[in-house]
Amino acid sequence: SNEIINNAKNINQLNNTFSRLYTNTKEYDLIRSRERNIETKRLRPLSFRSYNCPIETPEEIMKELVSIHKRTEYYALCSGGKDSISVGHWIMTNFPEQFKGFVHIKTNIGVKKTTDWLIEYCEKMGWVLKIIEPKPPNVYDELVLKYGFPSAGAHTIVMRKLKYSTMRRFAFENPHRKFNHSLISGIRVFESSRRMNNYKGAIQRDGNLWFTAPFFKKSDEWVYKYLLTNGLKRTPVHDILGMSGECECGSFASYGEREKLKLLDPELMHHIEYLEDQIQLHGTPLAKKYPKWGNTSHTPEEVDKIMKDLYSKGIIDKIKDLEEVVCGVECGAGTMRGLKNV
């Protein structure tokens, strides 16, 4: 209006304001162009972005991934739990040409039975399975000796080192995959009240790294029905732990989980106890404050300090969003299933 123009210090200031508004909204306008049935160009990666589909059925989510975002290679992230097995099977069934296989992250702080079971199950089903792991493989041990065992507040730190960086390296290891992939995730908005409060979108990306969650609006009942109807199985570890056990970093350890791990994977529990001893012998002063797996609560100030020690500011700003994409209920991050194991 004339009043706004008159109140502006000068016309350049006004132009700059509208220029910033255009920069912030042009991607939104491109996405909405689907409603006008006009051709769109591939969106330029602008850090972390989430996209809400107008109709969030699996079919419509994937339709948008193909027609708007031009993603043509799909890799199903698989922890061995019901969500990742089900969504991977659905993608394989409905997009057989684009589906390139399951991807399992061997965190090296997970229950070995889950990884072993998944390898055997995929062989039995005739499914392609790629096993990837962090670099260096013992990155969790290094983090623990420097900062102590992770708390719930520090989960994002260990998540990025164990999972996110590993996924990114896999997605970018060849140019064709880098510019055409989407990592298929089993995360769902109804997994927990925590995830409902942090709802972002079924399609998300961080620069050139893309994630898609076709089952994002599906309930537990729907997923279990899909699993049973299609004769699928999940890791038997789930029956004991209530999750896949792919990552036992301890951030969300629940009461009695230590005892369950001793039964499920004595070697893993022995390694955790070894790390507890090593912290006392060789850990930093900060690590010695948190020498006990599953019984840790870093202060917000300590978490900030660790973040700044490990990551640049740009990464810190988006790392919370990444946690919602990378870790679902099978990890425990989705449920906040417990903060202490005593």
Domain boundaries, the chain: 46-326
Does the pLDDT of residue 327 top 90, yes or no? no
Is the backbone of residue 33 left (phi > 0), alpha (psi -120 to 50) or beta? Answer: alpha
Q: How many angstroms separate the CA atoms of 319 and 328, rounded?
A: 15
Distances from the Cα of 53 to the Cα of 32, 78, 204, angstroms: 10, 24, 11
- The token pair that represents 42 in the structure block: 């591939």
- 35 versus 268: the higher-pLDDT residue is 268
Q: How many angstroms separate the CA atoms of 222 and 224, rounded?
A: 6
The candidate with the shortest Cα–Cα distance to 142, out of 132, 153, 152, 150, is 150
- The token pair that represents 30 in the structure block: 């491109």
Grade residue 35 by pLDDT with cuts at 50, 70 and 90: very low
Does the pLDDT of residue 34 top 70, yes or no? no
Q: Extract the runs of DSSP E, i.e. beta strands, from the chain.
A: 48-51, 73-77, 99-105, 129-132, 181-184, 203-206, 209-212
The pLDDT, as a whole number, for residue 309 is 80
End-to-end distance of the chain based on CA atoms, in angstroms? 64
Full-model pTM: 0.79
DSSP for residue 175: H
Does the pLDDT of residue 331 top 60, yes or no? no
Condensed to tens digits (0 to 9), the pLDDT of residues 159-216 reads 889 999 999 999 999 999 999 999 999 999 875 444 444 557 899 998 899 999 999 9
Q: How many angstroms separate the CA atoms of 35 and 44, rounded?
A: 20
Identify the CATH assignment for 46-326 out of 1.10.260.40, 3.40.50.620, 3.20.20.80, 1.10.3720.10.
3.40.50.620
The stretch 232-240 carries a mean pLDDT of 95
Average pLDDT over all residues of the chain: 81
Is the backbone of residue 263 left (phi > 0), alpha (psi -120 to 50) or beta? Answer: alpha
